[in-house]
Amino acid sequence: MPQMSRQDPLIEHHTVDYVPLSERHGKARDLFTLWFSTNIAPLPIVTGAMVAQVFHLNLIWGLLAIALGHLLGGIVIALASAQGPRMGIPQMVQSRGQFGRYGALLIVFFAALIYIGFFISNIVLAGKSIVGIVPSVPVPASILIGALSATAIGVIGYRFIHTLNRIGTWVMGSALLAGFVYIFAHDLPADFLTRGGFNAAGWLATVSLGVIWQISFSPYTSDYSRYLPADIGITRPFIATYLGATLGTILSFAFGLVAALATPEGTEAMVAVKQATGALGPILMVLFLLNIISHNALNLYGAVLSIITSIQTFASRWTPSIKVRVVLSGVILAGCCVVALGASADFIAQFIGLILALLLVLVPWASINLIDFYIIKRGVYDIASIFQADGGVYGRFNLHAIVAYFIGIIVQLPFANTSLYVGPWANLVEGADLSWLVGLVVTCPLYYCLATRKQTQKVRAVRLGYSD
């Protein structure tokens, strides 16, 4: 198995180009630590608290719904991640093999927008966390500190991100377990096990939330597995990603649920964490801050790669250097800081609502990506064609994928339940956004039928003697 030499630079020099076999390194377990550590953060903990505070489930039913949702959704992120070692290119570049060179631009644009949205939201959250820990630091300075720290990690790139998350797995995992122990070692409210109950709407909403949470990572998972040796196979990256992503999020969601039930009803989620963990609270807040910054580097890294992919679409002979990645990181940093510094008090809630609405475009993309890779092409792509000006064997546009993609979005709209748009059938199950399920059920078979239709016609023509 190829290993990194001591001469290899700390700062990653690849951008959206193919990673040669001679430069492949690492082990599948790196994917476990990356996705486990990444998901132990305030946002999933706050979301887990919603299970009791918004969906009114009790501890047992809440834990079952959390586990089921993430275990189902984790299949998507793990299947996407396992593509990286085989392809050796970022996830969005790979989309050219499904949508065509120019056809992939739309999903690349949406992906970049989602990354930037999460980056802005997280630097605002990091700024507020810094002020909460050190009140004397002004909010603008706190936002800049959080943004610059995440940018530095994102610029250094792949190796540093993996290294931080290997450390973070032990630190954050231990801290979270210590928090659980502290909560259960002290007196719990009399209604800890009985507060809430079972209701179908809340249970399905929690399951859906878990599925959507995992799918939201799928556009950039193979970005962090593309350096692994090509002979590592599919199974090991799949298992490592699946276990890391699902265990990390289930633990964080569960921690938020437990903290909410361990404090008086109506207590704000992060305040509940501080109250429930006592002396450990301040330590957890510092660790959560560090994790926000580390996780936000992934958003910046993904945004930069998506923008480079868009530009490189129109300049096939251009191989972007590390300088391009640094410059783009700086531009994104500056723009995002301007937005973050002018953000209103409810900015995070509004922006997360926008981003969750945009997830409607990810479900059909994920469906097409997985069907194409695992069933139609079985992991065999012409990498040279992906970088050719005319798209090579994949062409400039693949109408089969584009048609399936837009139909996949359209069929979700009547069932959508987002802050921007509520469909006429959104409340079939009150509070639960089931549009993702409709998107998967329609897009998967539709794309398979469209993509294999031409092949079927060719085979039929050969049998009838109409083809050479």
Q: Kindly report, residue by residue over 385-422, the tens digit of the pLDDT.
A: 999 989 899 999 999 999 999 999 999 999 888 777 88
Of 37-51, 95-109, 124-138, 201-215, minimum mean pLDDT range: 124-138
Band the pLDDT of 325: cuts 50, 70, 90: confident
pLDDT class for 2, splitting at 50, 70, 90? very low
User: What pLDDT score does 354 carry?
Assistant: 67
Q: What is the pTM of this model?
A: 0.86
Query: Contact, 62 vs 206, CB < 8 A?
Result: yes
Concatenating the DSSP letter of every residue in 245-299 gives: HHHHHHHHHHHHHHHHHTS-TT--HHHHHHHHHGGGHHHHHHHHHHHHHHHHHHH
Question: How many whole angstroms separate alpha carbon 221 and alpha carbon 79?
Answer: 9
pLDDT given for residue 19 in this prediction: 87
Do residues 31 and 240 lie in contact, with contact meaning Cβ atoms separated by under 8 Å? yes
Q: What is the pLDDT of residue 454?
A: 62
Q: Are 384 and 392 in contact (CB under 8 A)?
A: yes
Distance CA 313, CA 389 (A): 8
**Rounded mean pLDDT, 157-171:** 79
Treating both helix axes as pointing N-terminal to C-terminal, what angle do 42-53 and 105-133 enclose, rounded to 10 degrees? 90
Residue 3 has pLDDT above 70, yes or no: no
* Percent of the chain surpassing pLDDT 90: 37
Best-predicted range by mean pLDDT (153-167, 185-199, 298-312): 185-199
Reported as a single tens digit per residue, the pLDDT across 71-87 is 999 999 999 999 999 99
Contact 395, 454 (CB under 8 A): no
Check the CA dihedral 461-463-465-468 and report its sign.
positive
- Please report the pLDDT score of residue 83 as a whole number: 94
Nearest residue to 93 via CA among 359, 376, 388: 388
Q: So what's the pLDDT on residue 182?
A: 94
> What is the CATH code of the structural domain delimited by 21-464?
1.10.4160.10
Is residue 373 scored above 90 in pLDDT? yes
433 has a pLDDT exceeding 90: no
